[in-house]
Chain A
Amino acid sequence: MIVAKGIPVSEGIAISRIFKYYPRAGIEIPQECKASEKEVEKLSKALEEYKKYLNELLNVVEESERDLLQAYVLIAETFVSEARELVENSNVCGELAIKQVLDKYVELMEQSSSELFALRKSDLTDIALALVELLRGGRVSGDVVGVKDRIVVAEELTPTVFFRIQRAGVKGIITATGGITSHVAILARTYGIPYVILPSLDMTSIGDDVIAIVDGFDGKVVINPSNELMEEYMKKVRILNELRDVLKKYAFEKAKTLDGYEVEVLCNIGNVEEGRVASTQGCEGIGLFRVEYLYMSSRPPAEEVLVNTFTKVANFFEGKPVVIRAPDLGADKPPPFISIREDNPLLGLRGIRFLLEYRNEVLKPFLRGFLKAYAQSKNLRLMIPMVIKPSEVYEFIDVMNDVAQELGISYVKDLELGIMVETPAAAVLIDKFAKIPQLKFVSFGTNDLTQYVLAVDRTNPRLVRMYNELEPSVLRVIVRGVNEARKHGLKVEICGELASKSIAIPILLAFGFRSLSINPRYTGAIKYIIKNTRVQQFEQLLDAILNADEPSVVEELVIKTLQGYNADSRPLLLFSKYRS
């Protein structure tokens, strides 16, 4: 049995035999060649045949996906019309002409910085190679016979290949490369086909026909699973099939507990594209926008890029909150443009410490961008990472006021400012932070908080079993912080991974959280749990939870209680094994 962890792209679980898909073998194109007399005619004929091929696909794909294939038609037309000119003007053969046109556009594509250029190099290559095959009198290749009910394993897939394997009845997909926002990823989600990207995938090491499990929830791939694991997954699949449609529906409903508490479900995102997707998945706003990605290049982002990025996401969620977290640079995300050498970066210059240290290089430009965006979009809010005491927040506010003055803006006093509670220090000082007039909310960042409370590095593979957010020590720190925050009138949110874990939801609600910021993929499941929770029942359980000896005891308590009042606990069965 081999278990590998990858990136979950499309939810669902597939259990089946593997089908290794190899794209058409690289086609050799001559460096030099002369056009025949009928070269132009041959090009036109190849285009006609390719369009016929696409039209056949057009008849079987869903209405909403037709535009993509129409785009292929338009691209093929562009390729052939420019290739025709090349044939006529420089007398090269059609194949080489197509290749030259392809190269030109691949280069153009690489120069285009827009993250929206969702058509990839692989799309263009796919079209060009198909045209070359047709020019040579062949057929569009890529054998998908035998894909039915199998898990396709490939280096990369193009949308046309996806449509063909989908039509042939594919069960699940594993690829080595690709992106969560690529076309194939979107298509896999649309058609409900479980899909995991496995960067470590070595196709030669996997035999054809072996049994595999694709777990699109956890991003797990299991090759040759044990009987035990197979049974566990079969059970999950049964529950899943029942639940799939239910969860989809719940994602778009208001989340209210059985005893009538309304809960706000926000989402966490890490770039603009994720924001765009989140806005269509039932997220009621953004509780955490991680903007570090903007800083992962040779210089800090231009002001204009910052303004654009924040404004765009704010517009996706008009009238709903969008929390931008000031960049948490340092630790595991050192920016390439500043060199920091530290023996212990997790306890080093990061978060607010980094921002105050590099205030001219990073903090002030960030605040300029943020405040300019805020001028247009009043639903933006701002959160400060890694604080340990109020003086840091006061200093941050001073810098912000300076920047506001430079920009000549006065409305900065209306801005909702918050801190991320991710150090034990911040968690125990919330009453002090509450005295800062501008501070309106706190958001618990449970990932770092857990690692700091337990002194366990969550990336250390030897400590995996020790890192657990349900450790009663961690829960005690959180509950104490929540009580203080509510007592002092601060809004309380949580944006760590804990809020995306269904088993934790009843506990968090009993602690007093009424606003959760979660991974957008789980909106349906989390809202479903909320709607099946009777908060008062769990409030009575708080003592037992906070005095448990082990996280497993906490889990048992939650499951038993949910089952106790006959709530539908199927999602719990499905998600409770999140650590397995």
Chain B
Amino acid sequence: MKVVEIKILNRSGLHARPATRFVQLTNKFKSSIQICKTSKCVDAKNILKVLSLGIDQGDIITIKVEGPDEEEAYKNILELLLNILPVEDR
């Protein structure tokens, strides 16, 4: 299992649009993926649950990935949250 704690950098946080991008990505992988904020964890493939965390810019979140393609999922998720979204959504 891969676990990482990161700070959300893009302006709108995991608000409707960036959340959509995020969930579209997580759904591409077989691994089970969870996203947590202040110790509340939800299925990262369910957009409504991700939105219910109300993740905003500056929030610290934890991503947990477990499964056959966890390496790749982990890499892609970090790329989206740390590099792609902060540039697109400044």
- A→B interface (CB under 8 Å): 67-68, 70-71, 74-75, 78, 105, 108-109, 111-119, 124, 183, 276, 279, 308, 311-312, 315-316
A319 to B: closest C-beta gap in Å: 14
Residues of A close to B15: CB separation below 8 A: 116, 118
Are B54 and A117 interface neighbours, CB within 8 A? yes
Q: Which of chain B's residues have a CB closer than 8 A to the CB of A68? A: 16-17, 20
Q: How far is the CB of B36 from chain A (nearest CB, A)?
A: 15
Q: Is the CB of A67 within 8 A of B54?
A: no
Question: With the chains together, A115 CA to B15 CA distance in Å?
Answer: 10
- Choose from B20, B46, B57, B58 the contact partner of A67 (Cβ within 8 Å): B20
Cα A346 to Cα B14 in complex, Å, equals 42
B83 CB within 8 Å of chain A: no
Show 7 A/B contacts (Cβ-Cβ < 8 Å), sorted by A. A74-B23, A113-B54, A114-B53, A114-B55, A118-B16, A124-B48, A315-B57
In angstroms, Cα B12 to Cα A124, docked, is 21
User: Is there contact, CB below 8 Å, between B47 and A112?
Assistant: no
Contact: A183 with B16, CB < 8 Å?
A: yes
User: Of B19, B52, B57, which contacts A112 at CB under 8 A?
Assistant: B52
Shortest A302–chain B CB gap in Å is 14
Complex Cα–Cα for A112 and B13 (A): 15
The answer, among A78, A111, A311, for a CB contact under 8 Å with B47, is A78
| Interchain CB contact (< 8 A) of B17 among A71, A311, A312, A316 | A71
- A71 to B23 alpha-carbon distance, docked (Å): 9
Give Cα A109–Cα B20 distance, bound, in whole angstroms.
17
Chain A proximity mask over B52-74: 1 for CB below 8 Å, otherwise 0: 11111110000000000000000
Query: How many angstroms between the C-alpha atoms of A183 and B15 in the bound complex?
Result: 12
Determine which of A108, A114, A312 lies in contact with B57 in the assembled complex, contact meaning CB atoms within 8 Å.
A312
Contact assessment for B54 and A71 in the assembled complex, using a CB-CB cutoff below 8 Å: no
User: B24: CB under 8 A from chain A?
Assistant: yes
Tell me the bound Cα distance from A406 to B90 in angstroms: 36
**Chain A minimum-CB-distance residue to B23:** A74
User: A312 CA to B49 CA in the complex, in Å?
Assistant: 23
Closest to A111 in B: B52
Extra 12 A-B pairs, beta carbons < 8 Å, given A117-B51, A117-B54: A71-B19, A108-B49, A111-B52, A112-B52, A112-B54, A114-B55, A117-B52, A124-B48, A279-B11, A311-B58, A312-B57, A315-B58
Q: Which residue of B lies closest to A119 (CB)?
A: B16
- B2 proximal to A (CB < 8 A): no
Q: Say yes or no: B57 contacts A70, CB within 8 Å.
A: no
Residue pair B17, A114 in contact (C-beta under 8 Å): no
The answer to whether A276 and B12 touch across the interface, beta carbons within 8 angstroms, is yes
Choose one: A67, A116, A316; the contact of B21 (CB below 8 Å).
A67
A78, A279, A311 interface centre (most CB from chain B within 10 Å):
A78
Complex CA–CA separation, A551 to B57 (angstroms): 46
A64 (CB) vs chain B CBs: closest residue = B17
Query: Contacts of A115 on B, CB cut-off 8 Å?
Result: 54
Residues of A within 8 A of B17 (CB): 67-68, 71
4 closest A-B pairs by beta carbon, nearest first, are A114-B54, A67-B17, A71-B20, A74-B47
Neighbouring A residues of B49 by C-beta, 8 Å: 108
Closest Cβ–Cβ distance, residue B15 to chain A (whole Å) = 5
Contact across chains for A312 and B58 when beta carbons are under 8 A apart: yes
Would you give the shortest CB distance from A499 to chain B, in whole angstroms?
27
Nearest CB in chain B: distance from A50 CB, A: 15
In this complex, which of B21, B51, B58 has the most chain A Cβ atoms within 10 angstroms of its Cβ?
B51
Complex: how many Å from CA A308 to CA B48?
A: 24
Q: How far is the CB of A203 from chain B (nearest CB, A)?
A: 28
Contacts of B21 in A (CB 8 A): 67
Measured CA separation A130–B79 after assembly (Å): 35
Q: When the two chains form their complex, are residues B52 and A109 in contact, meaning their CB atoms are under 8 A apart?
A: yes
Q: Smallest CB–CB gap between B43 and chain A, Å?
A: 9
- Alpha-carbon gap, A114 to B17, bound state (A): 15
The closest CB in chain A to the CB of B59 belongs to A308
Complex Cα distance, B48 from A117, in Å, reads 10
Q: Which residue of A lies closest to B17 (CB)?
A: A67
State the Cβ distance, A238 to closest chain B Cβ, in Å: 36
Contact B58 A119 (CB under 8 A): no
Interface core residue of B16, B52, B53 (most chain A CB under 10 Å): B16
Q: Tell me which residues across on chain B come within 8 A of A78, comparing CB atoms.
A: 46-48
Chain B residues with Cβ below 8 Å from A312 are: 56-58
The B1-58 residues at the A interface (CB cut-off 8 A) are 11-13, 15-17, 19-21, 23-24, 27, 46-49, 51-58
A105 to chain B, nearest CB (A): 5
Contacts of B24 in A (CB 8 A): 70, 74
Given that A67-B16, A70-B20, A71-B20 are known contacts, is A105 also in contact with B48, CB under 8 Å in the complex?
yes
The chain B residue with its CB closest to the CB of A67 is B17
Question: Whole-angstrom distance from the CB of B81 to the nearest CB of chain A?
Answer: 16
How far does the alpha carbon of A262 sit from the alpha carbon of B49 in the complex, in Å? 49
Task: Write out the residue numbers on chain A whose beta carbons fall within 8 Å of the beta carbon of B46.
Answer: 78
| Chain B residues whose CB sits within 8 angstroms of the CB of A71 once the complex forms | 16-17, 19-20, 47
Q: Within 8 Å CB of B48, what residues of A? A: 75, 78, 105, 108-109, 124
The answer for the CA separation of A316 and B10 in the assembled complex, in Å, is 11
Partner of B56, one of A67, A114, A119: A114
Chain A residues, Cβ within 8 Å of B20: 67-68, 70-71, 74
Instruction: Tell whether A316 pairs with B54 under 8 Å between CB atoms, given A68-B16, A74-B23, A78-B46.
Output: no
Q: How far is the CB of A474 from chain B (nearest CB, A)?
A: 39
Chain A residues closer than 8 Å to B56, beta-carbon distance? 114, 116, 312
Q: How far does the Cβ of B33 sit from chain A's closest Cβ, in whole Å?
A: 14
- Report B13 CB to chain A, min CB distance, Å: 6
Complex Cα distance, B54 from A68, in Å, reads 17
Query: Smallest CB–CB gap between A120 and chain B, Å?
Result: 10
- Distance in angstroms from B8 CB to nearest chain A CB is 11
Complexed CA–CA distance, A119 and B52 (Å): 10
- Name the B residues within 8 Å of A116 (CB-CB): 12-13, 15, 54-56
Residues of B within 8 A of A119 (CB): 16, 51
Give the residue name and chain of the B residue nearest to A116 (CB).
Answer: B15
- How far is the CB of B84 from the nearest CB of chain A, in Å? 13
